[in-house]
Structure 1
Amino acid sequence: MDSQTQSPTTLDVQTWVNDGSPIPEWVRSHMTDEICPNGTFMMGTPVGSARVHVGNVVVGHLGEAWARAPEEVPELVAGFTTCDSRGVTSIGPGKATQFGSKSKRKRGGERKMPFRPPHGLMPSIEWVHLEDLSVDPSYQRSIDNEGSRRLIASIAANFDWRLCSPLIVSRRSDGKKVIIDGQHRWAAATRRGDLLQLPCCLFSYESPEEEARMFIVANRVRKPMNRLDDFYAALAAADEDALEIRRLVTEAGLSVARSTSSVSWKPGEIAFTASIATAIRRHGDAVVSASLTSLAEAYPDQSLIHGASVFGALVKLFSNPPEDFDPDCLVPAMRRFDMAGLTEIVKDQKGGESRASALHLALVETMAEMQNETLAA
């Protein structure tokens, strides 16, 4: 259906319904791609790109075009009338203000601006195929854990479009569409297999580092992030503290785990990034480096389930060593305790500081025993 509507105050309002009828030339001039097999297509509007779904109405006015559900068209056209009568030509977000509602103005007619201009560029709202979406593991949350698996299964089993808010997506210069917020919804839709597209807010960011910063802001405001999610997001955002932690961990021959669940840790993986950050502030790089290196050398083939407590004990030792402290004796002394032995030492201790103190005492006593054994021999 193609129609032309005119009124005394609105010139050249055109409408066309996406119902399978031929697309008029004035609509084609705004299309940014060809029509898809499902009948939808992308179109440029004054407020960004929009996908025109079957049943939507394309409204043309003064050389520009909008896509609306049928029930929204009368309000849009009424807005044209109001804007034309007042000489306003821009229509977009905040249309309630532009379309005739009262607004505060300074004396002389100048509009009062109580807020700073918004940051960034306006997004486009699009329906994106699932296979066109991806995640950047450098900062995105890991979903390889029991909590995420339960959440994804629940969303998939009880999927409700009324609860599916648009995903926040970065449109990169290479064409990739990278999810910043909405990974669980995407994984659940993929798991179902009968949902081909999801609604997305697509933004253009300057770099993956800016994406990571926006990820941190969005998730810290909405819900807590675990310490490893926070660390990897800060790392991707080029945070200086995170980069320093990674350098010290890597130089010691260790790596930072992606999951907080110790059962999934591989030998050499640690998760106590917050403790490392605190130790750097209190004691400096040299103490932290020596502690991490000793930990790596003592337990190269074991899962470091007590790594945080051992690290705390080593920091105590290197920051305030005994008078007869022999660094060469430390790693052999540590090797007298495997992870099972460490469990026995800390099992009755409450809190990280108490566990670190207990292990510190055990190490000091063991090194003293080893020195006595050497003298006796």
Structure 2
Amino acid sequence: MKYVDPSEYRAFVGEPITENLGVAPRLDWVPIGWLRIDPAYQREVLRQGARNIGRIAREFDWSLFGIVVVAEIEGGLYAIVDGQHRTLGAALRGIEAVPCLIIEADLSKQAKAFAAINGAVTKIHGLAIFAAEVAAGLPAAIALRDACDAAEVTICKYPVPANNMKPNETLAIGTLQRCLKTYGSDHLTVALRCVTQTRRGEVGHLREPTIKALCHVLEVEPSWKEPENRLLKAMEKFDFAKELEKATVTAKQQRNETHTVLGNVLFAFLDAELGVPA
């Protein structure tokens, strides 16, 4: 565990705009019936927002809720500055009061606070989210980790520059998640092993087009997966780097997807090497 030490970030502060830190907020539990949503700056709840509210209600857990930021308005009521989706989700579960951070702000400052809270968020990369899901023991994340482990693949916890990556590391978290869902863990493992077991010591082959192409081709002709040693022996002859480069150029010329072009090349190669059972 690390100490909360801000010293390494001091250079990013610059000159403070003012010495005035504003009025300190207070914390309290506020009845949902006292809360209001101001359409002047709050986002309209559209379809995706409605889905999010439904998910919050369905999976409600106080440890995942956080606090709602509100500002006191006339009549002893409070305007929600941040947290309307969470509040609506809580209300759907019959919860009567939510924990609030109460700030002192007029309408203009409420809107400014809304923009600051929602606009200055450090976006969390999918790699970091996956690492957290594994730590939390979520079944889908564990299944993907295990499928990758079986192929000796390491999913990086954060984006790594290409020149710093190690053999069998990958950044293609979204592709791996989709392929696991589409093809299953055993199929994904075999596809990944076509790279890790034939290009030992090499870096950079576990990329989206290559993973997609391998998974698709082995789905089209599943007989090529068994026996695996026969498949791997054939794949030792396939030049991943060269064929991916050519497929990228061809895909641009044809206005096609790189993984589709690479998949066609890969299918022709394995058909010539292994053939298709009668």
The two structures have a TM-score, normalised by structure 1, of 0.39
Mind listing any 5+ residue stretches in structure 2 that lack a counterpart? 22-61, 67-85, 87-116
> What is the match of residue 251 of structure 2?
349
- Amino acid paired to 1:225: I
Do structure 1's residue 330 and structure 2's residue 231 form an aligned pair? yes
Alignment of 1:18-97 (within 5 A): none
Of all paired residues, the percent bearing the same amino acid is 14
Aligned to 1:33: none
1:238–1:320 distance in 2 versus 1, CA, 3 Å:
same
1:313 counterpart letter in structure 2: A
| Pick aligned residue for 2:142 from 222, 230, 243 | 243
User: Measured at CA, do residues 295 and 324 of structure 1 come closer, stay the same or move farther in structure 2, by a change above 3 Å?
Assistant: closer
In terms of fraction of residues, the more helix-rich structure is 2
User: Which one scores higher on RCO, CA 8 angstroms, separation ≥ 6?
Assistant: 2
Task: Give the alignment's Cα RMSD to 1 decimal.
Answer: 4.0
Determine if the alignment matches structure 1 residue 304 to structure 2 residue 161. Answer: no
Aligned to 1:233: 132
Q: CA deviation at 1:269?
A: 0.3
* 1:256 is aligned to 2:155: yes
The verdict on how the C-alpha distance between 1:324 and 1:295 changes in structure 2, with shifts beyond 3 A counting, is closer
- Indicate whether 1:155 and 2:7 are aligned: no
TM-fit CA distance, 1:304: 2.3
SS of 1:267's equivalent in the other structure is coil
Name the CA shift for 1:330/1:225 in 2 (closer, same or farther; >3 Å). Answer: same
Q: Equivalents in 1 of 2:152, 2:118: separation in Å? A: 31
Q: Is the 8 A contact 2:224 2:231 kept in 1?
A: no
| 1:268 equivalent in alignment to 2:168 | yes
SS of equivalent residue, structure 1 residue 232 = helix
Q: CA deviation at 1:323?
A: 6.8
In the alignment, the residues of structure 1 paired with residue 273 and residue 123 of structure 2 have an alpha-carbon distance, to the nearest angstrom, of 46
Aligned to 1:109: none
2:12 counterpart letter in structure 1: I
Structure 1 residue runs without a partner (length 5+): 1-130, 135-148, 166-209, 373-377
Secondary structure of the equivalent of 1:279?
Answer: helix
* Larger strand percent: 1
Query: Cα–Cα, structure 1 residues 159 and 267, in superposed 2: closer, same or farther, change >3 Å?
Result: farther
1:241: how far off?
A: 1.5
The count of residues paired between Structure 1 and Structure 2 equals 178
Quick one: structure 1 residues 281 and 322, their matched pair in 2 at CA, closer, same or farther if it must change by over 3 Å? closer
Q: Give CA-to-partner distance per residue, 1:313-339, whole Å, 9 cap, x none.
A: 111022221777765443344333042
CA distance in 2, matches of 1:243, 1:324: 27
Cα–Cα, structure 1 residues 238 and 362, in superposed 2: closer, same or farther, change >3 Å?
Answer: same
